[in-house]
């Protein structure tokens, strides 16, 4: 394994010489442990038998071709699938060794502790200030809101760009700024985990680079799980990568499967499964 930040090429995989893999810390005291997870929509088993462990303050990337179940798995981590009436989750997801789907668990508290950022920036149609202040206010925050808003926007690398227009509408910001605001809004309630579902797919390369820099900084404090179609992004930002694909059964139904989960450097430079190698080298997907 290369030292953190040391350039390391990915033979047969991603060709970019700029890719430098991040070394993955250990998986001791994991945040999530997923065992034999299957997710159904109605009678369709969309994802089958997933097993993986998400490490504390690591960035875990979920990659794979369209429809292999990445977003479905991501939504299991904060019980967003509960909001889809046909969805049914089978198997085990332990969050700090507690059953995330246990009867006594409050899904609202789960979503406060495990926040989510979506593909399309979706700020509230409110001021920049109120976008950040909303969650803490609802949660009964008793401290100084002005300080919290400044601290959060600084944390999300947005303060300098917005400090003189906090009362302006968030909708007037650029797409990249809106997405950083959404990340700020998510971290304002002090979650432990931030789930990101293709957070850069609607952004240009400059805005994408800013979000990637931000993710690296946020990983010092938060555990991040990201779904991305952009393999270079997974290679650049994540410590560990899970590669999914979909098997087609004899009735023509597609079932998402986790093919391989490992340190990102390993997945991109020396994967153990041929399907992973074919995907990262662009031979399919």
Ligand X SMILES: Nc1ncnc2c1ncn2[C@@H]1O[C@H](COP(=O)(O)OP(=O)(O)OP(=O)(O)O)[C@@H](O)[C@H]1O
Least distance (Å) between residue 119 CB and ligand X: 8
Separation CA 190–CA 194 (nearest Å): 10
Instruction: Identify the H or E element spanning 93.
Output: strand 87-95
Q: Which of 52, 55, 59, 70 binds ligand X (CB under 6 A)?
A: 70
Buried b (16+ CB within 10 A) or exposed e, 231-268: bbbbbbbbbbbbbbbbeeeeeeebbbbbbbbbbbbbbb
Q: Which of 112, 254, 273, 285 binds ligand X (CB under 6 A)?
A: 254
- Give 44 or 137: the residue with its C-beta nearer to ligand X: 44
Q: Which of 69, 115, 176, 191 binds ligand X (CB under 6 A)?
A: 69
Q: Which of 40, 41, 124, 134 binds ligand X (CB under 6 A)?
A: 41
Residue 106 has a CB neighbour count (10 Å cut-off) of: 9
Does position 56 interact with ligand X (CB under 6 A)? The reply is no
- What CA–CA distances, in Å, run from 266 to 1, 34, 201, 256, 276? 8, 21, 25, 22, 11
Does position 84 interact with ligand X (CB under 6 A)? The reply is yes
Count residues binding ligand X (CB under 6 A). Answer: 14
Across the beta sheet with 44-54, the strand order is 98-99, 87-95, 32-41, 44-54, 254-263, 240-248, 59-63, 223-227, 193-197, 114-117
Least distance (Å) between residue 198 CB and ligand X: 7
Least distance (Å) between residue 46 CB and ligand X: 3
Q: Which stretch binds ligand X (CB under 6 A): 69-77, 105-113, 144-152, 175-183?
A: 69-77
What's the residue count for the chain? 285
Q: Which of 256, 257, 260, 277 binds ligand X (CB under 6 A)?
A: 256
Does position 107 interact with ligand X (CB under 6 A)? The reply is no
- Give 174 or 230: the residue with its C-beta nearer to ligand X: 230
Does position 134 interact with ligand X (CB under 6 A)? The reply is no
Find all residues with CB under 8 Å of 246, minimum gap 6, and list them: 64, 65, 67, 68, 69, 254, 255, 256, 257
Least distance (Å) between residue 206 CB and ligand X: 24
Least distance (Å) between residue 212 CB and ligand X: 19
End-to-end Cα separation, the chain, in angstroms:
27
Does position 66 interact with ligand X (CB under 6 A)? The reply is yes
Applying CB under 6 A, the residues found at the interface with ligand X are 41, 46, 64, 66-72, 84, 86, 254, 256
């Amino acid at each position: 394994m290369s030292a953190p930040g040391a350039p390391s090429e990915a033979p047969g995989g991603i060709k970019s010489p700029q890719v430098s893999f991040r070394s993955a810390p250990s998986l001791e005291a994991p945040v999530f442990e997923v065992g034999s997870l299957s997710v159904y929509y109605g009678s369709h088993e969309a994802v089958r038998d997933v097993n993986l462990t998400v490490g504390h303050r690591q960035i875990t990337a979920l990659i794979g071709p369209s429809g292999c179940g990445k977003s479905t798995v991501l939504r299991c981590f904060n019980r967003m699938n509960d909001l889809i009436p046909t969805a049914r989750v089978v198997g085990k997801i332990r969050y700090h060794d507690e059953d995330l789907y246990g009867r006594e668990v409050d899904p609202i508290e789960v979503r406060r502790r495990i926040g989510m950022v979506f593909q399309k920036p979706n700020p509230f149609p409110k001021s920049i200030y109120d976008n950040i202040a909303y969650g803490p206010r609802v949660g009964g925050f008793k401290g100084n809101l002005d300080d919290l808003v400044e601290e959060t926007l600084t944390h999300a690398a947005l303060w300098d760009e917005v400090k003189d227009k906090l009362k302006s509408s968030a909708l007037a910001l650029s797409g990249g700024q809106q997405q950083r605001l959404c990340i700020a809004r998510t971290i304002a309630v002090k979650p432990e985990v931030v789930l990101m579902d293709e957070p850069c797919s609607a952004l240009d390369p400059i805005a994408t680079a800013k979000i990637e820099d931000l993710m690296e900084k946020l990983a010092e404090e938060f555990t991040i799980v990201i779904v991305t179609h952009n393999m270079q992004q997974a290679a650049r930002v994540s410590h560990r990568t899970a590669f999914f694909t979909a098997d087609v059964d004899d009735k023509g139904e597609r079932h998402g499967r986790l093919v391989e989960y490992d340190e990102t450097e390993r997945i991109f430079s020396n994967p153990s499964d041929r399907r992973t190698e074919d995907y990262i080298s662009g031979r399919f997907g």
